[in-house]
Amino acid sequence: MDTQQFIPKSLVNNTTKLSFTWKTPSNIALVKYWGKTEPQIPKNASISFTLSNSHTITTIDFVPKLNLKTNDINFELFFEGKKKEDFKPKITKFFERIIKYCPYLTTYNMVIHSENSFPHSSGIASSASGMSAIAMCLMSLEKSLSSAELTDEFINKKASFLARLGSGSASRSIEGPLVVWGNHPAIKGSSDVFGVPFPYEVHEVFKNYHDAILLVDKGEKQVSSTVGHDLMHNHPFAEERFKQANENLAKISKILQNGNLDSFINLVESEALSLHAMMLTSNPYFILMKPNTLEIINAIWKFRNKTGSKVCFTLDAGANVHVLYPANESENIAQFIDNELSKFCQKNHYICDVVGLGAVNV
Ligand code: DP6
């Protein structure tokens, strides 16, 4: 894989403070990434809807260092206005991983201010939106330091490449409405090292798709994604799972083009349950679903049987349930959630989201 293209060649010297702000979304995978090798190479291809309302806004101030002899990476981190020391190790590791591709990092003292649109303790993964926002700020810096003109296409590609090194799913949070990450024969231009927008015409029914995120459990997860990915090494069903995911990706590529919602529902729900089946069958095994996760799944199945609705669910690595439905059902599903599902959420909380287009400079 050609990663040399991401090493900047001609950078100018800058002595003034520069500041950039980006708003980047979270995403929800339809075919899941679960299992990877170094350096953040996925074991199978994945695809996600980019979200819109669930996002991170990050500003980075780049202040040129007075003493250029020090090669350390210096940054201060503020989350929702407060200094956040416990987020620093993950970001330090991220910066160390990308230094080869962003050598200018060591020439600045950085101040990072970040905030999420969703409550921090909502159980919604913030690493995708958080890492992609930092990556976009770095690419804005690189653009202003580059003597060569950088195209938007290159900026997005490299931002996704960098974001991936912070958190795999973050590679899918630069563009929208559908992004594939992982080399796959059915997806033209796909790559293991960056995400690409789904390259084919998407059926009308998937435009403006809705995602209501039901907040079943807002607590810290007992098992992090990093540990979960790790447990896929030596997992008895790993190889079959990677094969299944890649087959599902080929299938969903067709479904997204032909608009067959029954096939979509079947594939997306099966992916969610297969992901959790990997957790149940890891060693050590673990369960991230809660009783209310199952209550919601059963209520969705019952509602679908009764009404013929095309609503379905998916799960990420947690207890919360993403309820997916086409825009023309939004009123009915809003009622269904209020009447029958919100009671299973902590404090009846859920977030209404919709498919979005990716990172925005603010
Ligand atoms: C279940 O991207 O959070 O949400 O690369 O270790 O940061 P790291 O993992 P992460 O894993 C996401 C897993 C998932 C499925 C998905 O988004 O594809």
Q: Best mutation site among 43, 225, 289 for ligand 1, i.e. most ligand atoms within 8 A of its Cβ?
A: 225
In total, the chain counts a number of residues equal to 362
Res. 230 pLDDT band, cuts 50 70 90: very high
* Residue 1 pLDDT greater than 80, yes or no: no
The residue written with tokens 């980047």 in the block is 24
**194 DSSP assignment:** S
pLDDT digits (tens, 9 = 90+) for 285-295: 999 999 999 99
Checking if the pLDDT of 36 tops 70, the result is yes
Neighbour tally for 31: CB within 10 Å: 29
| Cis check: omega of the bond before 39, within 30 degrees of 0 | yes
Task: Supply the pLDDT for residue 219.
Answer: 72
Distance 39 CA to ligand 1 centre (A): 14
The pLDDT score that the predictor gives to residue 67 is 75
Phi, psi of 309 (to 5 degrees): -60, 155
Ligand 1 centroid to residue 58 C-alpha, Å: 21
Q: What is the pLDDT of residue 259?
A: 98
Structure confidence by residue, pLDDT tens digits, 246-284: 999 999 999 999 999 999 999 999 999 999 999 999 999
Ligand 1 contact, 173 CB (< 6 A): no
> Is the CB of 167 inside a 6 Å radius of any atom of ligand 1?
yes
d(CA 40, CA 32): 15
Local confidence band at 110 (pLDDT 50, 70, 90 cut-offs): very high
pLDDT at 224: 86
pLDDT at 102 over 80: yes
**Looking at the predicted structure, is the pLDDT value of residue 317 above 80?**
yes
pLDDT category at 172 given cuts 50, 70, 90 is very high
Residue to probe by mutation, ligand 1, list 44, 127, 169, most atoms within 8 Å of CB:
169
321 φ, ψ (degrees, to nearest 5): -115, 130
Q: Which atom of ligand 1 is nearest to the CA of 167?
A: 7
19 φ, ψ (degrees, to nearest 5): -140, 135
How would residue 121 be classed by pLDDT, with cut points 50, 70 and 90? low
Q: Is 126 in the pocket of ligand 1 (CB under 6 A)?
A: no
Residue 26 in contact with ligand 1 by CB distance below 6 A: no
Instruction: Give the percent of the chain with pLDDT over 90.
Output: 90
Is any ligand 1 atom within 6 A of the Cβ of residue 168?
A: yes
- Ligand 1 atom with the smallest distance to the CA of 28 is 17
Q: Which of 54, 18, 56, 62 is nearest to 133 (CA)?
A: 56
Distance from Cα 168 to the centre of ligand 1, integer Å? 6
Region 226-230: mean pLDDT is 94
Note the pLDDT of residue 185.
98
What's this model's pTM, rounded to 2 decimal places? 0.96
Buried b / exposed e over 3-14, threshold 16 CB at 10 Å, is: eeebebeeeeee
Residue 355 pLDDT level (bands cut at 50, 70, 90): very high
What pLDDT does 98 receive?
97
Which tens digit of pLDDT belongs to each residue from 51-93? 999 999 999 999 999 877 777 999 999 999 999 888 899 999 9
At 48 the pLDDT is: 98
Asked if residue 33 has its Cβ within 6 Å of ligand 1, the reply is yes
220 pLDDT more than 80: no
Q: What is the CA radius of gyration of the chain?
A: 20
Query: Does the Cβ of 226 fall within 6 Å of ligand 1?
Result: yes
> Which atom of ligand 1 is closest in space to residue 275's alpha carbon?
1
pLDDT of 105 over the 90 cut? yes
**Which among 325, 47, 324 is positioned nearest to 199, based on CA atoms?**
47
